[in-house]
Amino acid sequence: MFKNTVSRKEIILERIIFAVSKLTLKFMKTKINLFSILFFISLLMVSCASEESLSNENTIQSFTITKGSVTKEFSIEENSIKGIVESTFELEDINLNVLIPRGATIIPDPVTIKSINGPLFFVVTAENGEMKNYNVDIKREPSTDNFILEVNVKTPNLSLSADIDNEEGLVTKRIPESNDLKNLNVEIKFSKYATITPDPKTIKDYSEPVNFTVTSESGIEKVYQVKLEHMNSYIFRSCSEANAWKWFGGDSRVNAPDILAYDRNVGTGQIVIVDKNLVPSTFSIHLREGFTYYDEKLRYDKPVTLKLIIKDANFNILAVTTTEVSEYFSGGFIPFDLQKLNLYLEANKKYSFYWYLIDGEKLGIYAGSSANNKTGDGFCYSSGYSGESRISKKNSLEDSNVWFDHDWHFNIELEGKE
């Protein structure tokens, strides 16, 4: 604006003189009030002074990016803003803070920009209308991460997480024998921005080890070998040392304190923790003798059915099964067949096994749950449970609130493959 040799002030002065001349002439002809002329001249001069005071400042004074609790500041050189952030500083879900002079405007509004994936262009306009363009070029360093983060083997009943040794580049997992190693669904998760070959989605056959190459964004390669095998090592664990016995089953006593005959049923439970992943095939519990009536000591000479409930550490039910006990049973281990339950016990996790006599209240027969009340370590020394339901209280051993912790370690056996 105003690039001729005549200055802006000279032009304004000429306009004022011209306006005064016309008004004076008119005043002489019409005798207009002198005050009106002076007032109009004042307005013209104020208007000119206002135009002269508009700022020409149109610079970006500071430029920062904030992500979460981290803020990065970038230097400004003339009309250019450049910078590189570390690979872990994602240029997504960000906030821009751009400081410009008072009265100036900027397009586009920095508040609307939440990610940077290429060059940005800003235009800052001063109060007087003068514009300045800015080119913003901020990039993230290429990531050097080239790790396999997760390997999940998807089976019809389970999702199994493999063990990953990043230092050795080795991924291993033993899976239940019911799964075909030549037709597996394996999901592999790896570092962000990295690539992997071959594509895991195209690989189904893991009957032999499979090698994968993970390449970082920066081009660094790392080879991993994925080795999947069947759980085919048979194990058998027995806890048979007994020095204590707990009531198990119904109660026919007519003179027992605070107990009605044929009213209650008492169950037993045990915490199970394995040191290696296990596919259990059989779980057995031990009773000291066969079922009898307490008062008459008469043997119950009919088969009975026991129920087993298995829960995880959060007490969610994983499986339920039953087993029949022969009328000739006179004490010993009673097995529950777990093979069709598709159970998978993870190492060092807590599982709760509960068992009780079905219709124990009505039958009124009992036996003794064998236990060990000594202290010790390992598989056989996890704490137990006891549960009691009553017809008069309208509850059942199916209800979790009738069970409570018991200090004894009840006699059990567990077999399967790891």
**What's the confidence (pLDDT) of residue 122?**
97
pLDDT in tens, 265-312: 999 999 999 999 999 999 999 999 999 999 888 999 999 999 999 999
pLDDT in tens, 372-404: 999 999 999 999 999 999 999 999 999 999 999
Q: In terms of pLDDT, which residue wins out, 314 or 296?
A: 314
Check: pTM over 0.75? Answer yes or no.
no
Q: In terms of pLDDT, which residue wins out, 184 or 31?
A: 184
Question: What CATH class is the domain 148-230?
Answer: mainly beta
**What's the confidence (pLDDT) of residue 147?**
97
pLDDT at 3 exceeding the cut of 50: no
CA distances (Å), 281 to each of 76, 284, 308, 413, in order?
71, 10, 14, 11
DSSP 87-151: TTS-SBS-EEEEE--TT-EEES-GGG--B-SS-EEEEEE-TTS-EEEEEEEEEEPPP----EEEE
CA distances (Å), 24 to each of 21, 32, 277, in order?
5, 9, 108
**What's the confidence (pLDDT) of residue 22?**
56
Q: What residue segments make up the domains of the chain, in order of their start? A: 8-53, 62-140, 148-230, 234-417
User: How far apart (Å, rounded) are the C-alpha atoms in residues 398 and 309?
Assistant: 9
Q: Where does 62-140 sit in CATH, by number?
A: 2.60.40.2340
**What's the confidence (pLDDT) of residue 242?**
97
**What's the confidence (pLDDT) of residue 25?**
47
**What's the confidence (pLDDT) of residue 318?**
96
The 3-state DSSP class for residue 297 equals: coil
**What's the confidence (pLDDT) of residue 49?**
47
Nearest Cα to Cα of residue 227 among 244, 212, 240, 242: 212
**What's the confidence (pLDDT) of residue 295?**
83
* Amino acid making up residue 69: S
Same fold yes or no, 148-230 and 234-417: no
**What's the confidence (pLDDT) of residue 2?**
35
CA distances (Å), 248 to each of 30, 44, 287, 355, 384, in order?
125, 108, 8, 10, 13
CA distances (Å), 164 to each of 46, 143, 144, 390, in order?
79, 21, 19, 50
Share of the chain above pLDDT 70, in %: 88
On whether the CB atoms of residues 388 and 249 are closer than 8 A, the answer is no
pLDDT at 407 exceeding the cut of 70: yes
pLDDT at 371 exceeding the cut of 80: yes
On whether the CB atoms of residues 98 and 76 are closer than 8 A, the answer is no
Least confident of 5-14, 189-198, 231-240: 5-14
**What's the confidence (pLDDT) of residue 36?**
52
**What's the confidence (pLDDT) of residue 156?**
86
pLDDT at 81 exceeding the cut of 80: yes
pLDDT at 246 exceeding the cut of 90: yes
pLDDT in tens, 17-45: 555 455 444 544 444 454 454 454 454 44
Residues 6+ apart with CB under 8 A from 266: 246, 247, 248, 249, 250, 251, 356, 360, 366, 386, 387, 388
pLDDT at 229 exceeding the cut of 50: yes
Query: What CATH topology corresponds to 234-417?
Result: Jelly Rolls (2.60.120)
Residues 6+ apart with CB under 8 A from 355: 267, 268, 269, 285, 306, 307, 308, 309, 336
Share of the chain above pLDDT 90, in %: 84
pLDDT in tens, 117-168: 999 999 999 999 999 999 999 999 999 999 999 999 998 888 999 999 999 9
What's the whole-number mean pLDDT along residues 64-92? 94
46 φψ region: left (φ > 0), alpha (ψ -120 to 50), beta (else): alpha
**What's the confidence (pLDDT) of residue 52?**
60
* Amino acid making up residue 164: I
Structure tokens that stand for 321 in this block: 């099964």
Mean pLDDT (the chain, rounded): 90
